Amino acid sequence: MKETKSNYCENCGEFHDSVHDHFSLVKVGESVPDFEFEVYHEDSIKTMSLSKLRGKWAVLVFYPADFTFICPTELEELSKLYPKFQAANAEIISVSTDTVHTHKAWHDTSPGIKEIKYPMAADPSGKMADAFGVLIEGAGPELTPDEGLALRGTFIIDPAGILRSMEVNDNSIGRKGAETLRKLQAAQYVETHKGQVCPASWEPGSDTLEPGLDLVGKL
């Protein structure tokens, strides 16, 4: 019985394992590349750029696609927390490889998505997703069902345009909005309290640590 696989080569009769390398242009502690992009926001289509967000914190939330299943649960949860992000001088921008017109159609159709107040960015070319290392590309000549979509990636950028935190999940794993807020608060705390670090599960008001030789072996 002849075995058939997508990576079977008819020419040589061998099976080849395709190795695909993801190269992200963004690295924690370095400046993020600037992009200009369209967003659906406040019932209209607008143009934004990452450079115009300088002076405030930015949280980019990549997700696979509109009209899906896990995505609305994540975006709705962030929508409920949006006032807290705003109070922390942070802007949330959700990003998918859909168009702004698809964003509008989803916004008009879904009761939960209709409540979203933050900008919904369109990245139909996949350039932003690719730069942030979350674009799903094909591995070989065969197309994959998710090719051209984005993984669930969350990126926290400080007011100077420096990436402070990144999280990338398989698309079957949903994120927790409250954890994104906690990471933002921790990043802001250490930004304004030099020499301090936030331990595991740190919350605003909790004790922090000041690294030093006196702590070695005592934690």
In a domain, 25, yes or no: no
CATH number at residue 90: 3.40.30.10
Q: What integer best gives the mean pLDDT of the chain?
A: 87
pLDDT score recorded for residue 88:
97
In a domain, 91, yes or no: yes
Tally of domains within the chain: 1
Highest mean pLDDT among 99-103, 142-146, 209-213: 99-103
Query: Higher confidence at residue 41 or residue 137?
Result: 41
Residue 60 domain boundaries: 36-173
Residue 146 has pLDDT above 80, yes or no: yes
Q: In what order do the strands lie in the sheet with 36-41?
A: 44-49, 36-41, 120-122, 90-96, 57-62, 152-157, 163-169
Share of the chain above pLDDT 90, in %: 73
pLDDT score recorded for residue 5:
40
> Structure pTM?
0.84
pLDDT score recorded for residue 9:
52
Q: Convert the pLDDT of each residue in 11-65 to its tens digit.
A: 555 544 444 444 567 899 999 999 999 999 999 999 999 999 999 999 999 999 9
**Can you tell me the distance from the alpha carbon of 4 to that of 94, in angstroms, rounded to the nearest whole number?**
40
In a domain, 30, yes or no: no
Share of the chain above pLDDT 70, in %: 81
Which string of DSSP letters, residue by residue, matches 107-153?
Answer: HHH-TTGGG--S-EEE-TT-HHHHHTT-B---SSSS--TTTT-B-EE
Residue 143 has pLDDT above 70, yes or no: no
Choose the catalytic residue: 9, 12, 71, 198. 71
In a domain, 216, yes or no: no
Question: What average pLDDT does range 189-198 have in this prediction?
Answer: 91
Burial letters for 139-166: b for 16+ Cβ neighbours within 10 Å, e otherwise? eeeeeeeeebbbbbbbbbbbeebbbbbb
Q: Convert the pLDDT of each residue in 68-97 to its tens digit.
A: 999 999 999 999 999 999 999 999 999 999
In a domain, 163, yes or no: yes
In a domain, 115, yes or no: yes
**Can you tell me the distance from the alpha carbon of 37 to that of 47, in angstroms, rounded to the nearest whole number?**
6
In a domain, 169, yes or no: yes
In a domain, 149, yes or no: yes
Question: What average pLDDT does range 137-148 have in this prediction?
Answer: 69
71 is catalytic: yes
pLDDT score recorded for residue 18:
44
